[in-house]
Amino acid sequence: MFIAKGKEHLLVTKNLVPGEAVYGEKRISVESPPDEKGEKVKTEYRVWNPFRSKLAAGILGGLDEIFIAPGAKVLYLGAASGTSVSHVADVVGPVGAKLPCALTLLDVFPTGRVSICCRILRKIRP
């Protein structure tokens, strides 16, 4: 996760699949200075909207220990539309493991216990 500084400061994640937006979010491309071979490398970032993601709002609000890092294993409960979990996938990267699940009201018992299974969402990110 990074902060893009400009007119507004934005929380961004490095796009795991450059050139592709997941939910119509803004993307920022940054071109690095030429390396020793004279080649410029483009890096694409996706803007993480805190008004669409409680996790992004928490991070911008000062939450510092989220335990999501490159290569981590993450079970993300409540991945209904895929907004937050797609950014978590950007952070974890292709090496880490993501298991996004969508829980519905039917999955929660009146006692507050969650049923044994949750629906695993497909096509979130590799």
Q: Mind listing the pLDDT tens digit for each residue in 60-99?
A: 888 888 888 888 877 777 666 777 888 888 888 877 655 5
E runs forming strands in 1-112: 2-4, 10-14, 27-31, 42-47, 73-77, 97-102
- Whether the pLDDT of residue 8 is over 50: the answer is yes
Question: Reduced to 3 states, what is the DSSP secondary structure of residue 83?
Answer: helix
What is the Cα–Cα distance from 124 to 44, expressed in whole angstroms? 18
Give residue 26's pLDDT. 92
pTM confidence score: 0.70
Place of tokens 């209904």: 80
Mean pLDDT across the chain, nearest whole number? 75
pLDDT of residue 5 exceeding 80: no
CA distance 3 to 24: 19
